[in-house]
Amino acid sequence: MKNLSTKTYILIILTRINLNLSYRILYPFLPSISRGLGIPFEQGALLASIRSIAGLLSPLFGRYFDKHGHKLGMLGGIGVLIIGILIFFGHPTFWIAFISFGCFGLAKAIYDPSVQAYVSSSVPYSIRARALGIIELSWSGSWFIGIPMSAILMDKINWKAPFALIGIIAAVVFILTLRLPEPATLQDQNKPNTIKIRMPLKVFLILAMSFFMMLSNENIVVVYGAWMEKAFKVKLLSLGFISLVIGMGELAGELVVTTMGDRIGKRKLLCVGLIGLALSYLLLPFIAKTRITATAGLAVMFFFSEVSIVTSFPYVSEILPKARAQILSANYASAIGGRLVGSFTGPWLWHFFSSMHVASAVSFVCVVLSISFLLCYWHLSLKREKRFKLNK
């Protein structure tokens, strides 16, 4: 087992920036996309729902790519993205866009666990936080690079132009990904592993951790703009600056995992991230007395959220190495499920209470549940280790 080449890292990061852009482009540009499709904003919001629902299909593919190669999963994800773009440009109506955004969500659901498994199979666990942290820089990169570029293309050409660029990049990275070798750990297996591996019941505690961690985050993300507008009379341009500060918080979290995750320890950093996230939810309504302190509070919240999320990937990748893609796919679906539920609870709570105190309290409870499930998993794992030593 050896580390990946610099060229491979660059290719994966470019691919994921492209995939993440297809996923995140809805957040700032939903009004423009809705107008382009000739539909109301509320109907356009359904594009985000189908995108997330498609992500729940991720576990269907994990076992297959564990048997036939993680590179195949990477190619499959890019291929589905290309299909979605081609459908989109066929005749852009609401239902065509609905199918296309479903493809965008499915593309990430296939590619992300596959590339995490590919990287995890290529680098030792001792440096895996750094490796996965590097490729996770693509999440903030899609915001810093992709969103401004999309705004320019929409302004200078038309609202469909960014999707054309996404399609062109997808075609290029598909060809380049074909040239990647399979990880040595898979090459060493003379034939695909045909043994059906059952996930231990305790793994579902980790999936519950991911579900509630992402629910807590999305519950705030979907309403922070409305909160800032109501509480501080923030205008659109100011919201853009606030989003930039939040993106810096995400980037800082990814860099912490990349540079310190292996040295501190994945388990310890995951625990620190979740505890910090819980405290940020608890304190956010009380420190957010001005626009500046509210923005700072959100940036801190996103920092700890990103630390927790990115650290969870290398940690989960080693739970059951022989079924790595299977577990990472299930973990991805659990996270998407949390996001999907949070996308409903956040607006619902805001509609009835219009209070960040209530939203933060719900997110705090969710992250406490996340920590509880993680502690239960550690407890069961420790008991199993003691029992194994006694039986030796």
How many angstroms separate the CA atoms of 36 and 38, rounded? 5
pLDDT value of residue 237: 60
**What is the Cα 179 distance to its own chain's centre?**
26
Greatest alpha-carbon pair distance for the chain in Å reads 70
Question: Is CATH 3.30.565.10 the classification given to domain 198-392?
Answer: no
What is the mean pLDDT of each successive set of 10 residues along the chain, which is 392 residues long? 82 96 83 86 80 87 85 96 93 89 94 93 91 92 86 88 95 96 58 56 92 95 82 72 84 95 94 97 93 93 96 93 88 93 88 90 97 93 61 47
Q: Which residues of 198-221 are buried (b: 16+ CB within 10 A; e: fewer)?
A: ebeebbebbbbbbbbbbbbbbbbb
Domains 1-186 and 198-392 share a fold: yes
Give, for 182, the enclosing helix (H) or strand (E).
Answer: none
State which fold the 1-186 domain adopts.
Growth Hormone; Chain: A; (1.20.1250)
- The enclosing H or E element of 344 equals helix 324-353
Residue 197: the pLDDT is 62
| pLDDT given for residue 305 in this prediction | 96
pLDDT value of position 209: 97
Distance (Å) of CA 113 to CA 177, 326, 343: 16, 8, 22
| Res 287: pLDDT | 92
Spans of all domains in the chain? 1-186, 198-392
Cβ 164 vs Cβ 96: under 8 Å: no
Structure tokens at 40: 């109301």
pTM: 0.85
Structure tokens at 250: 């995400």
Q: How far apart are CA 257 and CA 280, in angstroms?
A: 18
Can you tell me whether residue 150 is helix, strand or coil? helix
Res 236: pLDDT:
57
